[in-house]
Amino acid sequence: MGFLNREYECMPREELKKLQDERLKDTVRRSYENVECFRKRMDEKGLKPEDIRGVEDLHLLPFSYKQDLRDYYPYGLFAVPMKDVKRVHASSGTTGKRIVVGYTEEDLDMWGECVGRMMASLGVTDEDIVQVSFGYGLFTGGFGLHSGAEKVGAMVIPISSGNTANQIQTMIDFGATVLCCTPSYAMYMGEEVERLGVKDQLKLRIGIFGAEPWSENMRRQIEEKLGIRAYDIYGLSEVLGPGVSCECEAQAGMHVWEDHFIVETINPETGEVLPEGEPGELVFTSLTKQAFPVIRYRTRDICTLINKPCSCGRTHIRMGKPNGRTDDMLIIRGVNVFPSQIEEVLLRVSGDQITPNYQIVVDRVNNVDTFDINVEMSESFFSDDIKSIEKLERNITEQLRSMLGISAKVHLVNPKSIVRSEGKAKRVIDHRAGKI
Protein backbone atom coordinates (compact mmCIF):
# COMPACT_ATOMS: atom_id res chain seq x y z
CA MET A 1 0.00 0.00 0.00
CA GLY A 2 1.41 3.43 0.86
CA PHE A 3 4.89 4.66 1.74
CA LEU A 4 5.69 7.68 3.88
CA ASN A 5 9.33 7.76 2.77
CA ARG A 6 9.87 5.25 -0.02
CA GLU A 7 13.47 6.31 -0.65
CA TYR A 8 14.54 5.22 2.83
CA GLU A 9 12.06 2.38 3.39
CA CYS A 10 13.13 0.61 0.17
CA MET A 11 16.80 1.63 0.17
CA PRO A 12 19.06 -1.09 -1.33
CA ARG A 13 20.88 -2.88 1.48
CA GLU A 14 24.41 -1.83 0.37
CA GLU A 15 23.35 1.80 0.51
CA LEU A 16 21.65 1.25 3.85
CA LYS A 17 24.89 -0.22 5.19
CA LYS A 18 26.86 2.89 4.08
CA LEU A 19 24.32 5.14 5.75
CA GLN A 20 24.55 3.07 8.94
CA ASP A 21 28.37 3.25 8.90
CA GLU A 22 28.32 7.03 8.80
CA ARG A 23 25.55 7.40 11.34
CA LEU A 24 27.11 4.89 13.73
CA LYS A 25 30.43 6.75 13.72
CA ASP A 26 28.61 9.99 14.42
CA THR A 27 26.59 8.46 17.29
CA VAL A 28 29.71 6.96 18.89
CA ARG A 29 31.56 10.27 18.63
CA ARG A 30 28.68 12.30 20.11
CA SER A 31 28.19 9.81 22.91
CA TYR A 32 31.88 9.65 23.74
CA GLU A 33 32.11 13.43 23.94
CA ASN A 34 28.95 13.99 25.95
CA VAL A 35 28.00 10.90 27.97
CA GLU A 36 30.25 10.06 30.89
CA CYS A 37 28.94 6.51 31.36
CA PHE A 38 29.74 5.58 27.74
CA ARG A 39 33.14 7.32 27.77
CA LYS A 40 34.16 5.39 30.91
CA ARG A 41 33.17 2.03 29.35
CA MET A 42 35.04 2.83 26.13
CA ASP A 43 38.13 3.85 28.12
CA GLU A 44 37.96 0.62 30.14
CA LYS A 45 38.06 -1.31 26.88
CA GLY A 46 40.85 0.89 25.55
CA LEU A 47 38.62 2.03 22.68
CA LYS A 48 38.50 5.44 21.01
CA PRO A 49 35.67 6.62 18.72
CA GLU A 50 38.07 6.41 15.71
CA ASP A 51 38.40 2.64 16.30
CA ILE A 52 34.82 2.20 15.13
CA ARG A 53 34.98 2.34 11.34
CA GLY A 54 31.50 1.04 10.61
CA VAL A 55 28.87 -1.57 11.43
CA GLU A 56 31.46 -4.37 11.22
CA ASP A 57 33.04 -2.95 14.40
CA LEU A 58 29.77 -2.78 16.31
CA HIS A 59 30.61 -5.93 18.29
CA LEU A 60 33.60 -4.13 19.85
CA LEU A 61 31.37 -1.56 21.56
CA PRO A 62 30.30 -2.01 25.20
CA PHE A 63 26.69 -3.00 26.03
CA SER A 64 24.37 -0.65 27.90
CA TYR A 65 21.68 -1.64 30.40
CA LYS A 66 18.47 -0.50 32.04
CA GLN A 67 20.42 -0.13 35.28
CA ASP A 68 22.46 2.68 33.64
CA LEU A 69 19.28 4.77 33.41
CA ARG A 70 18.74 4.29 37.13
CA ASP A 71 22.36 5.04 38.02
CA TYR A 72 22.33 8.26 35.99
CA TYR A 73 18.74 9.25 36.89
CA PRO A 74 17.23 11.51 35.67
CA TYR A 75 19.28 13.24 32.95
CA GLY A 76 22.81 11.84 33.25
CA LEU A 77 22.77 9.96 29.93
CA PHE A 78 21.60 12.88 27.80
CA ALA A 79 24.03 13.90 25.06
CA VAL A 80 22.80 17.46 24.37
CA PRO A 81 22.48 20.61 26.50
CA MET A 82 19.22 20.59 28.51
CA LYS A 83 17.89 23.59 26.58
CA ASP A 84 17.72 21.35 23.48
CA VAL A 85 15.66 18.66 25.23
CA LYS A 86 12.07 19.42 24.33
CA ARG A 87 10.25 16.53 25.98
CA VAL A 88 10.77 13.70 28.45
CA HIS A 89 8.94 10.43 28.88
CA ALA A 90 9.39 7.89 31.64
CA SER A 91 8.55 4.31 32.35
CA SER A 92 7.98 2.83 35.74
CA GLY A 93 9.43 -0.55 36.44
CA THR A 94 8.06 -2.92 39.04
CA THR A 95 11.26 -2.39 40.99
CA GLY A 96 13.41 0.63 41.65
CA LYS A 97 13.34 4.15 40.30
CA ARG A 98 11.58 4.94 37.08
CA ILE A 99 13.66 5.59 34.02
CA VAL A 100 13.64 8.90 32.15
CA VAL A 101 14.27 9.44 28.44
CA GLY A 102 14.54 12.70 26.47
CA TYR A 103 13.90 13.96 22.94
CA THR A 104 15.07 16.96 20.93
CA GLU A 105 12.84 18.54 18.28
CA GLU A 106 14.62 16.40 15.68
CA ASP A 107 14.10 13.24 17.76
CA LEU A 108 10.37 13.94 18.06
CA ASP A 109 10.15 14.38 14.31
CA MET A 110 12.00 11.10 13.68
CA TRP A 111 9.69 9.31 16.15
CA GLY A 112 6.60 10.54 14.31
CA GLU A 113 8.15 9.37 11.05
CA CYS A 114 8.88 5.85 12.37
CA VAL A 115 5.25 5.37 13.48
CA GLY A 116 3.93 7.24 10.43
CA ARG A 117 5.73 4.81 8.09
CA MET A 118 3.69 1.99 9.58
CA MET A 119 0.43 3.85 9.28
CA ALA A 120 1.12 4.73 5.65
CA SER A 121 2.00 1.12 4.91
CA LEU A 122 -1.38 0.00 6.25
CA GLY A 123 -3.15 2.54 4.08
CA VAL A 124 -3.94 5.09 6.79
CA THR A 125 -4.38 8.49 5.08
CA ASP A 126 -5.70 12.01 5.74
CA GLU A 127 -9.20 10.57 5.32
CA ASP A 128 -8.79 8.42 8.45
CA ILE A 129 -9.87 9.06 12.00
CA VAL A 130 -7.44 7.54 14.48
CA GLN A 131 -8.58 6.82 18.04
CA VAL A 132 -5.51 6.68 20.27
CA SER A 133 -6.51 4.66 23.34
CA PHE A 134 -2.97 4.17 24.61
CA GLY A 135 -2.30 6.10 27.79
CA TYR A 136 -1.11 9.69 27.29
CA GLY A 137 1.38 11.03 29.79
CA LEU A 138 4.83 9.84 30.70
CA PHE A 139 4.14 6.48 28.99
CA THR A 140 5.27 6.69 25.35
CA GLY A 141 2.23 4.91 23.85
CA GLY A 142 -0.27 7.78 23.55
CA PHE A 143 2.05 10.49 22.23
CA GLY A 144 3.95 8.03 20.00
CA LEU A 145 0.89 6.83 18.08
CA HIS A 146 -0.49 10.37 18.08
CA SER A 147 2.52 11.80 16.27
CA GLY A 148 2.54 8.94 13.73
CA ALA A 149 -1.11 9.60 12.88
CA GLU A 150 -0.36 13.32 12.46
CA LYS A 151 2.50 12.49 10.07
CA VAL A 152 0.08 10.84 7.66
CA GLY A 153 -2.36 13.70 8.08
CA ALA A 154 -5.10 11.68 9.80
CA MET A 155 -7.50 13.20 12.30
CA VAL A 156 -6.64 12.12 15.83
CA ILE A 157 -8.98 11.40 18.74
CA PRO A 158 -6.56 11.64 21.71
CA ILE A 159 -8.87 9.83 24.13
CA SER A 160 -6.15 7.98 26.12
CA SER A 161 -6.96 4.71 27.91
CA GLY A 162 -9.80 3.87 30.28
CA ASN A 163 -13.56 4.32 30.59
CA THR A 164 -14.46 1.59 28.13
CA ALA A 165 -18.12 2.48 27.63
CA ASN A 166 -17.09 6.00 26.67
CA GLN A 167 -14.37 4.65 24.36
CA ILE A 168 -16.92 2.63 22.39
CA GLN A 169 -19.47 5.43 22.23
CA THR A 170 -16.77 7.82 20.99
CA MET A 171 -15.63 5.31 18.38
CA ILE A 172 -19.20 5.13 17.08
CA ASP A 173 -20.10 8.84 17.32
CA PHE A 174 -16.81 10.17 15.91
CA GLY A 175 -16.54 7.48 13.22
CA ALA A 176 -13.10 6.17 14.18
CA THR A 177 -11.53 4.07 11.41
CA VAL A 178 -8.29 3.16 13.21
CA LEU A 179 -7.87 2.04 16.82
CA CYS A 180 -4.55 2.08 18.69
CA CYS A 181 -4.15 0.46 22.16
CA THR A 182 -2.70 -2.58 23.90
CA PRO A 183 -3.93 -5.90 22.49
CA SER A 184 -5.42 -6.86 25.85
CA TYR A 185 -7.43 -3.64 25.91
CA ALA A 186 -8.53 -4.20 22.30
CA MET A 187 -9.73 -7.66 23.31
CA TYR A 188 -11.67 -6.19 26.21
CA MET A 189 -13.25 -3.54 23.98
CA GLY A 190 -14.13 -6.30 21.50
CA GLU A 191 -15.93 -8.22 24.25
CA GLU A 192 -17.84 -5.11 25.24
CA VAL A 193 -18.77 -4.39 21.62
CA GLU A 194 -20.13 -7.95 21.40
CA ARG A 195 -22.05 -7.60 24.65
CA LEU A 196 -23.61 -4.31 23.58
CA GLY A 197 -24.33 -5.66 20.08
CA VAL A 198 -22.93 -2.55 18.36
CA LYS A 199 -20.38 -4.07 15.97
CA ASP A 200 -22.38 -2.95 12.93
CA GLN A 201 -22.22 0.68 14.12
CA LEU A 202 -18.41 0.71 14.06
CA LYS A 203 -16.45 2.13 11.13
CA LEU A 204 -13.14 0.64 12.29
CA ARG A 205 -11.01 -1.06 9.66
CA ILE A 206 -7.51 -1.14 11.17
CA GLY A 207 -6.12 -1.84 14.64
CA ILE A 208 -2.55 -1.03 15.71
CA PHE A 209 -1.68 -2.87 18.90
CA GLY A 210 1.46 -3.36 20.95
CA ALA A 211 3.36 -2.66 24.19
CA GLU A 212 2.94 -6.27 25.39
CA PRO A 213 3.19 -9.80 23.97
CA TRP A 214 0.16 -11.18 22.15
CA SER A 215 -0.48 -14.33 20.19
CA GLU A 216 -1.80 -15.07 16.70
CA ASN A 217 -4.86 -16.58 18.37
CA MET A 218 -5.51 -13.28 20.12
CA ARG A 219 -5.01 -11.43 16.84
CA ARG A 220 -7.69 -13.56 15.15
CA GLN A 221 -10.14 -13.03 18.00
CA ILE A 222 -9.66 -9.26 18.08
CA GLU A 223 -10.02 -9.06 14.29
CA GLU A 224 -13.24 -11.02 14.48
CA LYS A 225 -14.77 -9.12 17.40
CA LEU A 226 -14.02 -5.64 16.02
CA GLY A 227 -14.24 -6.41 12.30
CA ILE A 228 -10.73 -5.11 11.57
CA ARG A 229 -7.23 -6.17 10.50
CA ALA A 230 -4.93 -6.02 13.50
CA TYR A 231 -1.23 -5.14 13.28
CA ASP A 232 1.62 -5.36 15.75
CA ILE A 233 3.87 -2.46 16.79
CA TYR A 234 6.92 -2.84 19.02
CA GLY A 235 9.11 -0.46 20.91
CA LEU A 236 10.52 0.47 24.28
CA SER A 237 10.95 3.79 26.02
CA GLU A 238 14.73 3.53 26.25
CA VAL A 239 15.16 3.10 22.50
CA LEU A 240 12.36 5.44 21.27
CA GLY A 241 8.88 4.32 22.36
CA PRO A 242 6.48 2.65 19.90
CA GLY A 243 7.75 2.46 16.32
CA VAL A 244 11.21 0.92 16.74
CA SER A 245 9.70 -1.83 14.61
CA CYS A 246 6.33 -2.15 12.90
CA GLU A 247 4.36 -4.68 10.93
CA CYS A 248 3.55 -3.78 7.33
CA GLU A 249 0.52 -4.91 5.35
CA ALA A 250 2.10 -8.38 4.94
CA GLN A 251 1.62 -9.16 8.69
CA ALA A 252 4.82 -11.20 8.52
CA GLY A 253 7.18 -9.74 11.10
CA MET A 254 7.97 -6.18 12.17
CA HIS A 255 10.41 -4.06 10.14
CA VAL A 256 13.11 -2.46 12.27
CA TRP A 257 13.78 0.97 10.72
CA GLU A 258 17.44 0.37 10.00
CA ASP A 259 18.21 3.90 8.87
CA HIS A 260 17.56 4.86 12.53
CA PHE A 261 18.47 1.70 14.46
CA ILE A 262 20.82 -1.26 14.23
CA VAL A 263 19.44 -4.46 15.72
CA GLU A 264 21.38 -7.52 16.86
CA THR A 265 20.40 -10.71 18.66
CA ILE A 266 22.83 -12.04 21.23
CA ASN A 267 23.19 -14.97 23.56
CA PRO A 268 22.06 -13.35 26.84
CA GLU A 269 24.53 -15.39 28.87
CA THR A 270 27.71 -14.94 26.86
CA GLY A 271 26.94 -11.72 24.94
CA GLU A 272 27.97 -13.47 21.70
CA VAL A 273 26.21 -12.19 18.54
CA LEU A 274 23.92 -14.83 17.04
CA PRO A 275 23.31 -15.59 13.38
CA GLU A 276 20.02 -14.51 11.81
CA GLY A 277 17.17 -16.88 12.56
CA GLU A 278 18.43 -17.95 15.98
CA PRO A 279 16.38 -16.66 18.92
CA GLY A 280 18.27 -14.39 21.29
CA GLU A 281 18.15 -11.15 23.26
CA LEU A 282 17.43 -8.08 21.13
CA VAL A 283 20.06 -5.36 21.31
CA PHE A 284 19.54 -1.93 19.72
CA THR A 285 21.87 0.89 18.73
CA SER A 286 20.32 4.21 17.74
CA LEU A 287 21.80 5.98 14.72
CA THR A 288 20.11 9.37 14.65
CA LYS A 289 18.85 10.07 18.17
CA GLN A 290 20.30 13.27 19.59
CA ALA A 291 19.10 13.77 23.18
CA PHE A 292 19.40 10.18 24.33
CA PRO A 293 21.46 7.98 22.02
CA VAL A 294 21.67 4.30 22.97
CA ILE A 295 24.56 2.02 22.09
CA ARG A 296 24.10 -1.76 22.17
CA TYR A 297 21.18 -1.46 24.56
CA ARG A 298 20.16 -4.81 26.09
CA THR A 299 16.36 -5.01 25.86
CA ARG A 300 15.96 -8.40 27.63
CA ASP A 301 13.35 -9.24 24.97
CA ILE A 302 13.86 -12.61 23.29
CA CYS A 303 13.22 -12.62 19.58
CA THR A 304 14.26 -13.91 16.15
CA LEU A 305 15.40 -11.76 13.21
CA ILE A 306 14.28 -12.37 9.63
CA ASN A 307 16.56 -10.95 6.94
CA LYS A 308 14.70 -12.07 3.83
CA PRO A 309 13.02 -9.76 1.33
CA CYS A 310 9.46 -8.86 2.33
CA SER A 311 6.57 -8.90 -0.14
CA CYS A 312 5.86 -5.22 0.70
CA GLY A 313 9.10 -4.12 -0.98
CA ARG A 314 10.71 -2.67 2.16
CA THR A 315 14.34 -3.71 2.53
CA HIS A 316 14.59 -3.36 6.31
CA ILE A 317 15.17 -6.44 8.47
CA ARG A 318 12.16 -7.87 10.31
CA MET A 319 11.80 -9.28 13.83
CA GLY A 320 9.29 -11.93 14.87
CA LYS A 321 6.97 -11.46 17.81
CA PRO A 322 9.01 -11.11 21.00
CA ASN A 323 8.35 -14.35 22.84
CA GLY A 324 9.55 -13.85 26.35
CA ARG A 325 12.01 -11.79 28.32
CA THR A 326 15.22 -12.86 29.95
CA ASP A 327 13.95 -11.35 33.21
CA ASP A 328 10.46 -12.89 32.96
CA MET A 329 11.73 -16.23 34.02
CA LEU A 330 10.05 -17.68 37.08
CA ILE A 331 11.81 -20.26 39.15
CA ILE A 332 9.18 -22.62 40.49
CA ARG A 333 10.27 -25.54 42.65
CA GLY A 334 13.73 -25.01 41.19
CA VAL A 335 12.57 -25.26 37.58
CA ASN A 336 12.89 -22.35 35.13
CA VAL A 337 9.51 -21.44 33.70
CA PHE A 338 8.79 -18.81 31.05
CA PRO A 339 5.23 -17.48 30.67
CA SER A 340 5.70 -17.84 26.89
CA GLN A 341 5.96 -21.65 27.30
CA ILE A 342 2.60 -21.68 29.04
CA GLU A 343 1.13 -19.50 26.34
CA GLU A 344 2.45 -21.90 23.71
CA VAL A 345 0.53 -24.80 25.28
CA LEU A 346 -2.64 -22.73 25.63
CA LEU A 347 -2.38 -21.79 21.96
CA ARG A 348 -2.77 -25.45 21.01
CA VAL A 349 -6.22 -25.47 22.62
CA SER A 350 -9.07 -24.46 20.34
CA GLY A 351 -10.35 -20.89 20.53
CA ASP A 352 -13.85 -22.40 20.79
CA GLN A 353 -12.96 -23.73 24.21
CA ILE A 354 -10.82 -21.06 25.86
CA THR A 355 -10.20 -17.33 25.48
CA PRO A 356 -6.68 -15.80 25.35
CA ASN A 357 -7.13 -14.53 28.93
CA TYR A 358 -5.04 -16.38 31.46
CA GLN A 359 -3.18 -15.67 34.66
CA ILE A 360 -0.31 -17.46 36.37
CA VAL A 361 -0.44 -17.39 40.17
CA VAL A 362 2.61 -18.46 42.17
CA ASP A 363 2.76 -18.63 45.95
CA ARG A 364 4.68 -20.39 48.69
CA VAL A 365 2.81 -22.45 51.28
CA ASN A 366 4.72 -24.38 53.98
CA ASN A 367 7.95 -23.69 52.11
CA VAL A 368 6.70 -25.26 48.91
CA ASP A 369 5.91 -23.31 45.76
CA THR A 370 2.34 -23.50 44.52
CA PHE A 371 1.75 -23.00 40.83
CA ASP A 372 -1.76 -22.31 39.52
CA ILE A 373 -2.88 -21.30 36.08
CA ASN A 374 -6.31 -19.79 35.60
CA VAL A 375 -7.58 -20.00 32.06
CA GLU A 376 -10.82 -18.42 30.99
CA MET A 377 -13.35 -20.58 29.15
CA SER A 378 -15.18 -19.26 26.11
CA GLU A 379 -18.92 -18.53 26.49
CA SER A 380 -19.85 -21.51 24.30
CA PHE A 381 -17.68 -24.02 26.12
CA PHE A 382 -18.77 -22.74 29.53
CA SER A 383 -22.25 -24.10 28.99
CA ASP A 384 -20.84 -27.56 28.25
CA ASP A 385 -21.09 -30.30 30.84
CA ILE A 386 -18.71 -30.53 33.76
CA LYS A 387 -17.11 -33.71 32.40
CA SER A 388 -15.81 -31.98 29.26
CA ILE A 389 -14.47 -29.15 31.39
CA GLU A 390 -12.57 -31.57 33.62
CA LYS A 391 -11.28 -33.41 30.59
CA LEU A 392 -9.90 -30.21 29.07
CA GLU A 393 -8.29 -29.25 32.39
CA ARG A 394 -6.55 -32.65 32.52
CA ASN A 395 -5.46 -32.33 28.92
CA ILE A 396 -3.87 -28.87 29.48
CA THR A 397 -2.25 -30.04 32.74
CA GLU A 398 -0.69 -33.00 30.96
CA GLN A 399 0.66 -30.90 28.09
CA LEU A 400 2.10 -28.36 30.52
CA ARG A 401 3.79 -31.10 32.52
CA SER A 402 5.53 -32.44 29.45
CA MET A 403 6.56 -28.94 28.33
CA LEU A 404 7.77 -27.62 31.70
CA GLY A 405 8.79 -30.72 33.60
CA ILE A 406 6.70 -29.73 36.64
CA SER A 407 2.98 -29.80 37.23
CA ALA A 408 0.69 -26.84 37.56
CA LYS A 409 -2.89 -26.79 38.78
CA VAL A 410 -4.98 -25.70 35.83
CA HIS A 411 -8.34 -24.09 36.59
CA LEU A 412 -10.79 -23.35 33.81
CA VAL A 413 -12.56 -20.29 35.12
CA ASN A 414 -15.78 -18.57 34.10
CA PRO A 415 -15.86 -16.30 31.06
CA LYS A 416 -14.92 -12.66 31.88
CA SER A 417 -13.72 -13.58 35.39
CA ILE A 418 -10.09 -12.57 34.88
CA VAL A 419 -9.64 -8.86 35.54
CA ARG A 420 -9.37 -6.86 32.30
CA SER A 421 -6.68 -4.26 31.81
CA GLU A 422 -6.89 -0.89 30.10
CA GLY A 423 -3.12 -0.90 29.56
CA LYS A 424 -0.67 -3.76 29.70
CA ALA A 425 -2.16 -7.05 30.97
CA LYS A 426 -0.78 -8.57 34.16
CA ARG A 427 -0.20 -12.25 33.40
CA VAL A 428 1.88 -13.29 36.40
CA ILE A 429 1.00 -12.84 40.04
CA ASP A 430 3.83 -13.90 42.30
CA HIS A 431 2.95 -13.80 46.00
CA ARG A 432 6.25 -15.29 47.13
CA ALA A 433 8.08 -12.05 47.99
CA GLY A 434 9.15 -12.22 51.62
CA LYS A 435 8.19 -15.88 51.98
CA ILE A 436 11.40 -17.32 50.55
Q: Using the rule CB under 6 A, which residue among 5, 34, 91, 169 binds ligand DLL?
A: 91
Does 213 contact ligand DLL by CB under 6 A? yes
* Rounded Cα–Cα distance for residues 281 and 278 (Å): 10
Does 141 contact ligand DLL by CB under 6 A? yes
Task: Select 134 or 371, whichever has its Cβ closest to ligand DLL.
Answer: 134
Does 133 contact ligand DLL by CB under 6 A? no
Does 148 contact ligand DLL by CB under 6 A? no
SS3 363: strand
Q: Using the rule CB under 6 A, which residue among 143, 234, 297, 358 binds ligand DLL?
A: 234
User: CB under 6 A: which stretch of 71-79, 210-218, 366-374, 385-393 binds ligand DLL?
Assistant: 210-218
State in angstroms the smallest separation of the CB of 161 from ligand DLL. Answer: 11
The helix (H) or strand (E) run that includes residue 428 is strand 428-430
The helix (H) or strand (E) run that includes residue 255 is strand 254-256
- Whether 225 and 197 have beta carbons less than 8 Å apart is answered as no
User: CB under 6 A: which stretch of 69-77, 229-237, 389-397, 407-415 binds ligand DLL?
Assistant: 229-237
Task: Select 28 or 207, whichever has its Cβ closest to ligand DLL.
Answer: 207
SS (H, E, C) 200-250: HHCCCCEEEEECCCCCHHHHHHHHHHHCCEEEEEEEECCCCEEEEEEECCC
Q: Which residues ranging from 255 to 274 are in contact with ligand DLL (CB under 6 A)?
A: none
Q: Which residues ranging from 314 to 353 are in contact with ligand DLL (CB under 6 A)?
A: 321-322, 325
- Whether 227 and 221 have beta carbons less than 8 Å apart is answered as no
Does 284 contact ligand DLL by CB under 6 A? no
Q: Is the bond preceding residue 74 a cis peptide, omega within 30 degrees?
A: yes
* Rounded Cα–Cα distance for residues 74 and 58 (Å): 27
Task: Select 212 or 363, whichever has its Cβ closest to ligand DLL.
Answer: 212
Does 301 contact ligand DLL by CB under 6 A? yes
SS3 311: coil
Q: Using the rule CB under 6 A, which residue among 28, 118, 211, 408 binds ligand DLL?
A: 211
State in angstroms the smallest separation of the CB of 333 from ligand DLL. Answer: 26
Does 124 contact ligand DLL by CB under 6 A? no
Question: CA angle 264-265-267, nearest 5°?
Answer: 135
SS3 287: coil
Does 134 contact ligand DLL by CB under 6 A? yes
Does 68 contact ligand DLL by CB under 6 A? no
> What spatial distance separates the first Cα and last Cα of the chain, rounded to whole Å?
55
Chain residues that interact with ligand DLL, rule: CB under 6 A:
91, 134, 140-141, 144, 210-213, 232-237, 241-242, 299, 301, 321-322, 325
